[in-house]
Amino acid sequence: MIDTDLIVKKALSMGADEVSAIYVESDIKQTRFSNSMQDIYLNYLDSALEIFISKNKKTISTSIKDYKNIDEKIKSLIKLTDQLPENNDFVGLNSKKQTYRDHVPDGTLENLDDLTYMTKRAIEGAQEKGAKRVAGTIYHVVENISISTNYNTAEDKNVSLFYSVRALNENGYSGQAAFHTSDHRLLDDFDPYNLGQEAGDFASLVGIPKEGVEGKFDVLFHPLCFGSLITYSVQMASAYFVDTGMSIFSDKLEKRIGSENFTLYDDPTLESGTGYRLFDDEGTSTRKVTLVENGIVKNILHNNSTASKYGTETTGNAGIISPQPWQPVMEKGRRSVDDIISEIKKGLYIVNTWYTRFQDYRNGDFSTIPRDGIFYIENGEIVESWKGIRISDNMIKIFSNINEVSNETMQVRWWDEVMPSIVPYVLVKDVNITRSK
């Protein structure tokens, strides 16, 4: 264990003006499985000391894992600032004394780390629903984190469990389900077996998909799928990227980017999610930040320096260089998913997507490739499944065409595509669908 207070004091005594020292000790367990068998058990035991230093308006950061000669390492880092130009984007760490919420990590969840058993259950759940092959991954994370700056000191412990299951039917077509939690009580409804069943159900429903067709369709996005679009968008809400001009949030404060039905927060205070965070990298206590309210951009994500540039307060999202989202939460609506589906005349229901890429970050032109269940709906009923299509559209248009939002949300997190998020089902009008010709 490293004493971050001591690190800050040492760096200050060596001539630094401001210091942030973050020490993270983590024990991450993982299983990966495919072809209905566990492929490997992995365990990552790691610790790291991350130090940020400013001196005479010059800034530098480092990550240290070998704690021998730590004084020398800090000294040489401070010396290196002599060779740097001033960082005019940096105005200083948050100097306000912070008050932190009480946070008690879930002790029961900490002990739920028999991942081989969970893997077996996930596979069995999918198989019960007819899956021929089952693949996925399960993570169990225990992380102790402490921070000290010139002005604040805090520590926290986070325990999280997240997993995804992809079920493939006898024709090789798939369904997918993914979940994250920091609260063991949610496992009553979303344990790996149940998630396996959900993925298996989707795979069964897919059957043998037909080649999809091009056109404009009303699309009902599963929370996993819309969570992917939210993940790509919310990264661009960082003031750092807004500042480059290459973000859909650039020049959009107090302007409309979505319909009345679109309200989006970054909420690291929600303890049930694995995106929970007590403090940011400047030691600022985190809070729920309203990014978009009824379609209007209300905030972007700030650290102390970007907030100063924009004449506002930090939102508790440092990254000292680039602010970052912690846990996007989209406001739910009033209607059930079944109600929403029942009123779709001709549309699609899409479970998941991947490979989202932008040809225009500023205006939001992008495309993404639906997968793991694309269902064509006619008069409120799923009549067939599709394959081979692409959503080729504009993100602001998608948000602006949100027509319905379900009254239930799901905690979704999947691979590198969906960050820990809480998202409802979302119905979007007139989504542009294209395909290879």
Subset of 320-349 contacting other proteins (CB under 8 A): 321-322
Q: Does position 48 bind other proteins by CB under 8 A?
A: yes
Kindly report the length of the chain.
Answer: 437
Q: Which of 44, 128, 215, 383 binds other proteins (CB under 8 A)?
A: 44
Q: Does position 358 bind other proteins by CB under 8 A?
A: yes
Q: Which of 89, 156, 271, 384 binds other proteins (CB under 8 A)?
A: 89
For the residues of 329-374, what is the DSSP string, one character each? EEPP-SB-HHHHHHT-SEEEEEEEEEEEEEEETTTTEEEEEEEEEE
Q: Does position 375 bind other proteins by CB under 8 A?
A: no
Closest to other proteins by CB, 137 or 152: 137
Q: Does position 204 bind other proteins by CB under 8 A?
A: no
Residue 367 corresponds to which amino acid? S
Cβ 380 to other proteins shortest distance, Å: 29
For the residues of 375-420, what is the DSSP string, one character each? EEEETTEEEEEEESEEEEEEHHHHHHTEEEEEEEEEEEEETTTEEE
Cβ 268 to other proteins shortest distance, Å: 21
For the residues of 112-143, what is the DSSP string, one character each? ---HHHHHHHHHHHHHHTT-SEEEEEEEEEEE
Closest to other proteins by CB, 332 or 435: 435
Q: Does position 24 bind other proteins by CB under 8 A?
A: no
CA dist 360 and 136 (Å) reads 33
CA dist 148 and 135 (Å) reads 41
- Residue list 171-200, contact with other proteins (CB under 8 A): 172, 174, 176
Q: Does position 59 bind other proteins by CB under 8 A?
A: yes
Closest to other proteins by CB, 340 or 374: 374
Hey, what's the torsion of the CAs at 269, 145, 319, 179, to 10 degrees? -50
Cβ 293 to other proteins shortest distance, Å: 26
CA dist 183 and 107 (Å) reads 9
Q: Does position 144 bind other proteins by CB under 8 A?
A: no
Q: Does position 47 bind other proteins by CB under 8 A?
A: yes
Closest to other proteins by CB, 336 or 355: 355
- Residue list 91-120, contact with other proteins (CB under 8 A): 116
Q: Which of 4, 54, 259, 368 binds other proteins (CB under 8 A)?
A: 368
Alpha helices, H only, 207-252:
223-235, 239-244
Q: Does position 1 bind other proteins by CB under 8 A?
A: no
